């Protein structure tokens, strides 16, 4: 079988609030091969947007990506510089929001 185009392993993104820690994305692992489509479905507040924003490293405070790897064509998006990531966002990977303006 072909290597996944997008390979996410053990991704964890938490929000550190005054009320405590919210584990919005907790140990998510998935892979997608070229040509595959993925629909992410869940209740409001279940972490769908946080997962998408984590993949492209756009988590706003008080959120923080705690652990995990996101490989896009074997490039670890969690380890590259912000400058390198800006070249990839929108060209190789992006996010379509539920209610785009």
Give the tens place of pLDDT for each residue, 50-62.
Answer: 999 999 999 999 9
94 belongs to a structural domain = no
Tokens representing residue 18 in the block? 């005054």
Rounded CA-CA distance 63/44 in Å is 17
99 belongs to a structural domain = no
In the predicted structure, residue 17 carries a pLDDT above the cut 60: yes
12 belongs to a structural domain = yes
Looking up tokens 């303006």 gives 101
How does the average pLDDT of the chain come out, rounded?
92
93 belongs to a structural domain = no
What CA dihedral angle connects 70, 84, 56 and 10, to 10 degrees?
A: 20
Residue 45's pLDDT band, with cuts at 50, 70 and 90, is confident
101 belongs to a structural domain = no
Q: Where are the beta strands (DSSP E) in 1-101?
A: 6-17, 20-32, 63-72, 75-76
Q: Structural domain tally of the chain? A: 1
98 belongs to a structural domain = no
Residue 37's pLDDT band, with cuts at 50, 70 and 90, is confident
Give the structural domain span for 10.
Answer: 6-88
77 belongs to a structural domain = yes
């Amino acid at each position: 079988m072909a290597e996944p185009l997008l390979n996410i392993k053990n991704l964890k993104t938490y929000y550190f609030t005054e009320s405590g820690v919210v584990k919005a994305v907790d140990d998510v692992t998935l892979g997608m091969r070229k040509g595959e489509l993925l629909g992410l479905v869940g209740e409001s507040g279940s972490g769908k947007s946080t997962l998408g924003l984590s993949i492209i490293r756009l988590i706003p405070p008080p959120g923080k990506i705690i652990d995990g790897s996101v490989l896009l064509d074997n490039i670890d998006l969690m380890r590259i510089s912000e400058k390198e990531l800006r070249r990839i966002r929108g060209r190789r990977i992006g996010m379509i929001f539920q209610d785009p303006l």
